[in-house]
Chains A and B, each alone.
Chain A
C-alpha cells in the first residue's frame, strides 16, 4: 500500500465515526491546549523579561560580588530553627544574614585587570517615598544611584542623562508620568522631586509613628523609556552615597573599608566582558557575572516554571493517549469483518498494523492542531484583556507568545504520543485470524 493511501484511508475510517473520533480528538486537545498555553505563557514572559533585562543590563558592565564564604543554605536552616546553629560574629548587624563586603583594596585589584576602566560600588538605599513638588501624595520608589557609565547608556523617552560631576538631578521612570498626571515626558523635565530617607530598615509592625528622616531634592532632567522597572528613580552616584551614609547611620559607608556588597565594573570593550569576568574571578574571592550570564540564570528559572506547568499538560496528554487506545480497540471490534476482508484482498499483517497506527497518529495530529489553535486564541484573549487592565502601560509586552517552534513541537509531540498509543491496538488488529474475522458477526 502507498503511504498516501494509508493516510487517506485512515482519515476516512476515522471520519466514519464522527462523534467518537471528535470526542477522542477533544480529549487530546485538552492536553495539548494546556501544554501549548503553559509553554506560550512561559515563553512570553521569558521573552519580555530577558528582553528588558538585556536592555537594562549594559553590554559592557560586569557585576562582581564577594564569593560568599558562608553556606547560605546552612544560614537559612539555622535561621528557621532547623540545622546546626550558626555562629554570630561580633559586630554582625543581622545575625541571620551575613554578607561579605569589599574594601578599597579589592577595588584597586579589580581596577588593575586589563580592559577595566572604571569600578564603582553598587549603592543600596531604601527610601520611604518620593514626592513631586505641588502634588499631594507620596509614592513608593526604587532608588538607584548610577555611575556615569551606566546612566549614559540607558534609553530615555525625554531629556538627558546627568553630566559628570553633576549633583541634585534625577531621571525618573515613565510610569510616574501617569501617577503625577503629567501629559508628556517633556513636561516632566525641570520639575522638582523630593526623596525622603529614614534611617535603617523600617520593619517594626507595632509602630504607626511616622519615622524621622531627611529629605533630598532633585530636579528631573530625564525620563526613562517604558520598562518593567516602573518605580525607578536614578540619581548620580555621589548623591546616592550621601543618602546611603544617612540611611545606614554610617559615615564610613562606601569609603576605604566598606565598598558595599557589590561592584559595578565598566569594561572598555564589550567583546572583552567574558575575559574580564573570568580574570576578576581569577584574582581570588570574587564572583563575576556578565550581562549574558545574569539573563541566562533568569531564563533558567523560567525554564523550570515552564517545565512544571508543562507537566500538567503532559499528564493530560497521557490520559488522552489511553483514550486513543480505547477508541482504536473499539474500532477493531466494529471492523473485524472489514479487517478479514482486507486480508482476503491482499493486505498483509504489516499493512493492517500500519493502517491502525496511522489512524492513531491522525487523532493525535488533529488533537494537536485543535489544541494549538485553542491555546493561540486563548493567548490572544489573555493578551487583549491584560493590555486593557493590568498591563495597560506595557502594550509591547504579550504574556502569551507563539513562536513557530512551539506550534510544531506541540503538534509533533501529540502526533508522536498518539502513534505510540496506536501501537497496541494496531498489532491486535494485525493478529486477527482472517477466517474468524470474516465470519465475525
Chain B
C-alpha cells in the first residue's frame, strides 16, 4: 500500500517559491484504481513522481509497502522503480529506433533479465494489451493508441504492483482514450494491479473506483 504523510514539495522558480504539493496525506490500498483529477499546475504529476521515486519530497514521508522512499539511495530507488512501479506517460516516451518488443523489454534490461526471457516476457506483455500482431513494428509505424498500449505493456512487463499513469490519454482522441482507460481498468481487475491515473478529463476519471481531487497542491474531496 501507498502512504503519504504530510508530503510537501516546493520548487524555486527565480525568486518565487512554488508549492507543487502542500501537506498531502493520502493512503491507497492494494488493488485500488484511483484517479487523480485537477487543473494543470495543481500538483498531479508531482504526486505521481514522489510516489514513483522519481522525485523526493521537500518535507513529509512517502512509504510504499512499508519502505520509506526518503531513506532510499539512488540505486535502491532505481531498483524500486524498476521492480515495483510501471510508469505510463502522456507522450509515450518510446524509443523510436526500437521495435515494440525491444521497447517493452527495456525495463528487463535494467533488471538484468537474460535476453531470451526478456523477449518472451515482452511478447506476453504485448499480447496482454492486444498488440500480439505488432511485435516487430516501430513506434513510427503505429497509431497513437497503439503506441500507448506499447507503453502500458512496458509498464507491465516487470510485474510491478503499481501502475502510475500520467495523463495517458492527453494526446489521444476520445474513443481511443476510452479504450486506453478501459484497458487499464481491465488490467487492474484481472491482475489486481494498483492503478493511479492522473487526468484532467472527468469522464475518464469517473471510470476509476475512487477519485481524488487536487488544487494548488492540496487534496480536495
For B107, what are the chain A residues with a Cβ–Cβ distance below 8 Å? 345-346
Q: A338-B95, A343-B54, A435-B55 are in contact. Are A350 and B111 (CB under 8 A)?
A: no
The answer for the CA separation of A337 and B90 in the assembled complex, in Å, is 13
Interface size in chain B (residues, C-beta < 8 A)? 25
Q: Within 8 Å CB of B111, what residues of A?
A: 346
Shortest distance from the beta carbon of A11 to any chain B beta carbon, whole Å? 12
List, in ascending order, chain A residues with CB within 8 A of B55's CB. Answer: 435
Q: Are A348 and B75 in contact (CB under 8 A)?
A: yes
Chain A residue contacts of B49, Cβ below 8 A: 435
B154, CB-defined interface residue at 8 Å? yes
Answer yes or no: B140 CB below 8 A from chain A CBs: no
Contact indicator B54/A344 (Cβ below 8 Å): yes
Asked whether any CB of chain A lies closer than 8 Å to the CB of B93, the reply is yes
| Chain B residues with CB under 8 A of A341 | 89, 93, 95
Closest to B106 in A: A345
The smallest C-beta distance from A189 to any residue of chain B, in angstroms, reads 74
If A16-B97, A337-B93, A341-B93 touch, whether A346 touches B110 (CB-CB below 8 Å) is yes
Identify which of residues 75-129 in chain A touch chain B, using a CB-to-CB cut-off of 8 Å.
none
Cβ-defined contact, A344 with B109, below 8 A: no
Contact mask A415-437 → B, CB, 8 Å, 1/0? 00000000000000000001100
Closest chain-A Cβ to B13's Cβ sits at a distance in Å of 12
Closest to B76 in A: A348
Tell yes or no: B87 within 8 A of A by CB.
yes
In the bound complex, residues from chain B placing their C-beta under 8 Å from that of A434 are 54
Q: Per-position contact with A for B137-176: 1 when CB-CB < 8 Å, else 0?
A: 0000000000000000010001000000000000000000
Name the contact of B78 in the complex, choosing from A5, A16, A348 (C-beta under 8 A): A348
Chain A interface size range: 20 to 34
Residue picked from B75, B89, B97, B110, most chain A C-beta under 10 Å: B110
Give the docked Cα–Cα distance between A346 and B107 (Å).
6
Which residues of chain B come closer than 8 Å to A349, judged between CB atoms? 74, 78
B119 contacts the other chain (CB 8 A): no
* B residues less than 8 Å from A343 (CB atoms): 54, 78, 81
Smallest distance from the beta carbon of B179 to chain A beta carbons, Å? 23
How far is A435 from B55 in the complex, measured between Cα atoms in Å? 7
Does any Cβ of A come within 8 Å of B83's Cβ?
Answer: yes
Contact of B87 among A345, A347, A348 (CB under 8 A): A345
A346 touches B54 (CB 8 A): no
Q: Contact: A347 with B110, CB < 8 Å?
A: yes
A residues near B87, Cβ cutoff 8 Å: 344-345
Residues in A with CB closer than 8 Å to B158 are 346
Taking the nearest CB of chain B, how far is it from the CB of A13, in angstroms?
Answer: 9
Bound complex: CA of A1 vs CA of B78, how far in Å? 11
Which of A344, A346, A348 has a CB less than 8 Å from the CB of B83? A346
By a CB distance below 8 angstroms, the chain B residues around A148 are none
Q: In whole angstroms, what is the CA distance A435 to B109 when docked? A: 21
B112: which A residues are within 8 A, CB to CB?
1-2
- Residues from 305 to 360 in A contacting B, C-beta threshold 8 Å: 337-338, 340-351
B109/A1 in contact, CB under 8 A: yes
Is there a chain B Cβ closer than 8 Å to A12's Cβ?
A: yes
Q: Are A351 and B97 in contact (CB under 8 A)?
A: no
Residues of B within 8 A of A (CB): 49, 52, 54-55, 74-75, 77-79, 81-83, 87, 89, 93, 95, 97, 106-107, 109-112, 154, 158
11 pairs, CB–CB < 8 Å, chain A vs chain B: A1-B109, A1-B110, A342-B110, A344-B81, A346-B78, A346-B83, A346-B110, A347-B110, A349-B78, A435-B54, A438-B93
On A, residues with C-beta under 8 Å from B are 1-2, 5, 9, 12, 16, 337-338, 340-351, 434-435, 438
- Give me the 6 closest cross-chain CB pairs, A-B, nearest first: A346-B82, A348-B78, A346-B110, A341-B93, A345-B107, A344-B87
